């Protein structure tokens, strides 16, 4: 890192974290090409996280859950207006060998206990 220059770690455009970053840049009308000498790219969110944890970058755009796992403290959070919402869907497959147990597990995931666990590591629950 050069003195007086901030280096931001972001994901490549072909990975989800990079695509969310591009949406955030667009929301703020930032030109990624104009910022290029202040950006370093990772091929996945773990590479971006590692760049920050190892001091190779001053900051990075990553998921809150990855920040939590790496012991990092987020300084801000993107809104769904900025970049959409990251959603991890779950469903019972019609070929499931244990559909009743799978349905029960999905109900557990929507419950208060699981919600507390998810939120404690940076997830936000959606309906």
3-state helix, strand, coil in the chain (%, to 5): 45, 10, 45
Judge: domain 8-82, CATH 2.30.30.30. no
Whether the predicted pLDDT of 2 surpasses 90: no
Whether the predicted pLDDT of 67 surpasses 60: yes
| Strand pairing category for 8-11 and 59-60 | parallel
Task: Tell if the pTM clears 0.85, that is, is over it.
Answer: no
Beta strands in the chain (DSSP E): 8-11, 39-42, 59-60
State the average pLDDT for the chain.
92
Domain boundaries, the chain: 8-82, 87-127
Sheet holding 59-60, edge to edge: 39-42, 8-11, 59-60
- What pLDDT was estimated at residue 3? 60
Question: In the structure encoding, which two tokens stand for residue 72, read together?
Answer: 């990092």
Quick: pLDDT tens for 37-65: 999 999 999 999 999 999 999 999 999 99
For Cα atoms 113, 75, 7, give the angle at the middle one, nearest 5 degrees: 130
């Amino acid at each position: 890192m050069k003195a007086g220059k901030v280096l931001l770690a972001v994901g490549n455009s072909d990975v989800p974290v990079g695509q969310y970053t591009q949406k955030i840049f667009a929301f703020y009308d930032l030109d990624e090409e104009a910022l290029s000498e202040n950006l370093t790219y990772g091929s996945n969110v773990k590479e971006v996280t590692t760049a920050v944890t190892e001091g190779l970058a001053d900051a990075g755009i990553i998921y809150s859950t990855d920040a939590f796992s790496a012991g990092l403290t987020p300084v801000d959070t993107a809104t769904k207006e900025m970049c959409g919402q990251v959603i991890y869907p779950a469903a019972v497959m019609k070929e499931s060998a244990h559909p009743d147990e799978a349905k029960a597990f999905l109900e557990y995931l929507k419950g208060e206990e699981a919600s507390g666990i998810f939120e404690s590591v940076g997830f936000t629950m959606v309906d």
